[in-house]
Structure 1
Amino acid sequence: MSFRVTFLGTGGAVPTTERAPSALVVNREGDRLLFDCGEGTQRQMMRFGTGFSVSHVFLTHLHGDHVLGLPGLVQTWDFNDRTEPLSIHCPPNTRTHVKSLLRAGGHDPDFPIRINEVSPGNVAFRAEEYEVRVFRTNHRTRAQGYALIEDDRPGKFNREKAEEELGIPPGPAYGRLHEGEAVELDDGRVIHPEQVVGVPRPGRRFVYTGDTRPVDETVEIAENADLLVHDATFASEYADRARETAHSTAREAARIADRAGAKRLALVHISSRYAGDPSPIEREAQSIFGDAFVPDDGTRIEIPYPDA
């Protein structure tokens, strides 16, 4: 089952020719979820071929470099005769500001838009096989991060044991057992799932912080994450500036990933100081966490299952 992350904007507050402001798309088996929507996001979506059929937008906070692309994107959807509803998830007490932002362009879309205020510790969106949870971050305004966490999958089905040891004939019974249902055989025996199905297997976990200082809540929710996308605006030479502006350095992001036991760390919100050469950010993080990298705009990451 596919799980792809496309980085649309990896730059900081000031866009450059190399890096657009914050935005990324997650495509999980056809479900397209947009996280933040900086200036020019719709053009980046066209440029990098993510498709426009986004059903949910998750805003970490309402600073302009994370939301100014939203009015134009909504207007384009309306011009394209969109009828499907859109859900915009945002921090508490920001609904009015989001509504004002959407109206700023003087356009009232014909498709329904639901603005969902959601607090850290809650679930913003629940789908059939995954959910998007909200966690606390630390920035200069109301801010939060999001984690897409898949449900556990059934354990592996032991076909050899089922067929040879228990004498279960191949057929629908195998599927029922794998889905957790006991079955009765023709000879009257009842076979329970735990006799032929292994322990549940973990799903995948994607964590996106938005702008933040390093916080313990990220460590907790990013435990064993397949991909952690973390603010790394500065290298440590600007550590004081990072504290003043409530951002993280590459070293701080790497320490968070290391503490969480994440598998990979993507460093984003790169200051325009490093637009032409982000290697200082990458080297600093890799000195602590080897699987850290700075994605370019347009970078695509496929997230496999942990046991693949």
Structure 2
Amino acid sequence: MELEFLGTGAGLPAKHRNVTSIALRLLAERNAVWLFDCGEGTQMQILHTTIKPRKIEKIFISHLHGDHVFGLPGLITSRSNQAGDKPLELYGPKGLEDFVRTSLKISKTHLNYPLKFIEISDDEQTLFEDDQFIVTCKKLDHGIASYGFRVTEKDHKGELQVEKLKTLGIKPGPVYGKLKQGESTTLADGRIINGEDFVGEDKKGRIVTILGDTRYTSNAIDLAKSANVLVHESTFNKHEEKLAKSYYHSTTQQAATIAKKAGVDQLILTHISARYLNKDAFELEKEAREVFSHTVVARDFYWMEIPFQTKEES
């Protein structure tokens, strides 16, 4: 599980930051990529990465401001032109389907795959669940409907301790499958083996919280509770709290306060105003670290692996 930031800017593209899009790379887990927001130029940003559009399985849109959705029609079209033939699921506020289908209809675009829209109907909702992940959302505070997403990976069952079995003379075969399920089995020589003695500890699933644009809100704390990673917007510096409130955005230290109260492991700040160049971005990071030390300001193409917690850390 990895995060890659395709765009980290606020409002409009800049030379040093494109507008918002974040890829959650789940190649090892399900050979897929999930995209969070898709601002203008996202497909151009993807060209500078190893991401293949046909691998994009789901796109989650936090809200319908242009810097978060204007890249959708182009990316959806290119996915079709690049051998993408599997269904694509799009999650987001009401109006998302109208926006996409109207763009495709007017441009007479034909897709080689079906689109499935899941529009958010409640302030709090479970959007997706299977045997690997559950995705929930809550409404934030941004003037228009804006949502944050919590991706929870389900726990991984412990691995079968193969070497331990081999030392007992138990060779690979169907018996390994039974033992991995924790079952007891009787061997040909009469020995009774309890599978629970040969399966390692479960690995706790990881949690990633990615928020749309928002003022400071308690819903963000709920979404981020005990997350391994929290991605939070930081459009204004710590001295601009009144401006942040007026424009329905957050400051560096408001984001850091959310991270601290939620007890997250890592805070990543994004949605950075074009006013802040490289040196200024370091100042934003410094401000946030005054409240929550495990903070970084993302740049375009910033990448991080999200590790499993060790027993000592959990």
Task: Give the TM-score range, shorter chain.
Answer: 0.7 to 0.9
> Would the aligned equivalents of 1:265 and 1:291 in 2 still touch at CA under 8 Å?
yes
Asked if residue 279 in structure 1 is aligned to residue 282 in structure 2, the reply is: yes
Structure 2 matches for 1:156-305, cutoff 5 A?
169=170, 171=172, 172-185=174-187, 187=190, 189=192, 191=194, 193=196, 197=199, 200-276=202-278, 277-305=280-308
Deviations 1:278-299 (A, max 9, x none): 1221111111111101111011
What TM-score does the superposition give when structure 2 sets the normalisation length? 0.86
- Pairwise CA distance, 1:260: 1.3
Partner of 1:12: 10
Cα distance between partner residues in 1 of 2:9 and 2:57: 24
Cα distance between partner residues in 1 of 2:288 and 2:116: 39
- Pairwise CA distance, 1:161: 8.7
Cα distance between partner residues in 2 of 1:77 and 1:31: 13
Partner of 1:130: 133
Per mean C-alpha deviation after superposition, the further-off stretch among 281-290 and 85-94 is 85-94
SS in 1 for 2:37: strand
> Would the aligned equivalents of 1:162 and 1:168 in 2 still touch at CA under 8 Å?
yes
Cα distance between partner residues in 1 of 2:135 and 2:202: 20
The structure-2 alpha-carbon separation of the partners of 1:153 and 1:77, relative to structure 1 and needing over 3 Å to count, comes to closer
Structure 2 matches for 1:144-155, cutoff 5 A?
144-155=147-158
SS in 1 for 2:239: helix
Cα distance between partner residues in 1 of 2:128 and 2:241: 35
Cα distance between partner residues in 1 of 2:224 and 2:177: 33
- Pairwise CA distance, 1:273: 1.7
The structure-2 alpha-carbon separation of the partners of 1:158 and 1:92, relative to structure 1 and needing over 3 Å to count, comes to same
The structure-2 alpha-carbon separation of the partners of 1:150 and 1:66, relative to structure 1 and needing over 3 Å to count, comes to same
The structure-2 alpha-carbon separation of the partners of 1:103 and 1:181, relative to structure 1 and needing over 3 Å to count, comes to farther
Partner of 1:100: 102
Partner of 1:70: 72
Partner of 1:32: 33
Cα distance between partner residues in 1 of 2:23 and 2:37: 9
Cα distance between partner residues in 2 of 1:274 and 1:261: 28
Deviations 1:83-103 (A, max 9, x none): 222111112454333433444
- In the alignment, structure 2 segments of 5+ residues that lack a partner are none
The structure-2 alpha-carbon separation of the partners of 1:300 and 1:99, relative to structure 1 and needing over 3 Å to count, comes to same
Structure 2 matches for 1:102-121, cutoff 5 A?
102-118=104-120, 119-121=122-124
- In the alignment, structure 1 segments of 5+ residues that lack a partner are none
SS in 2 for 1:270: coil
The structure-2 alpha-carbon separation of the partners of 1:81 and 1:170, relative to structure 1 and needing over 3 Å to count, comes to closer
Give the letter for the 1:19 counterpart.
Answer: R
Cα distance between partner residues in 2 of 1:70 and 1:145: 19
Q: Count matched residues.
A: 303
- Pairwise CA distance, 1:14: 2.1
Deviations 1:226-263 (A, max 9, x none): 21111111112211111111111110111111111111
Cα distance between partner residues in 1 of 2:223 and 2:179: 32
SS in 1 for 2:117: strand
Deviations 1:190-230 (A, max 9, x none): 7363x554653311111100111222222223222121111
- Pairwise CA distance, 1:71: 1.0
RMSD: 2.6
> Would the aligned equivalents of 1:148 and 1:205 in 2 still touch at CA under 8 Å?
yes
State, as a whole percentage, how many aligned pairs show the same letter: 31
Cα distance between partner residues in 2 of 1:80 and 1:162: 47
Give the letter for the 1:20 counterpart.
Answer: N
> Would the aligned equivalents of 2:148 and 2:223 in 1 still touch at CA under 8 Å?
no
The structure-2 alpha-carbon separation of the partners of 1:274 and 1:300, relative to structure 1 and needing over 3 Å to count, comes to same
- Pairwise CA distance, 1:47: 1.4
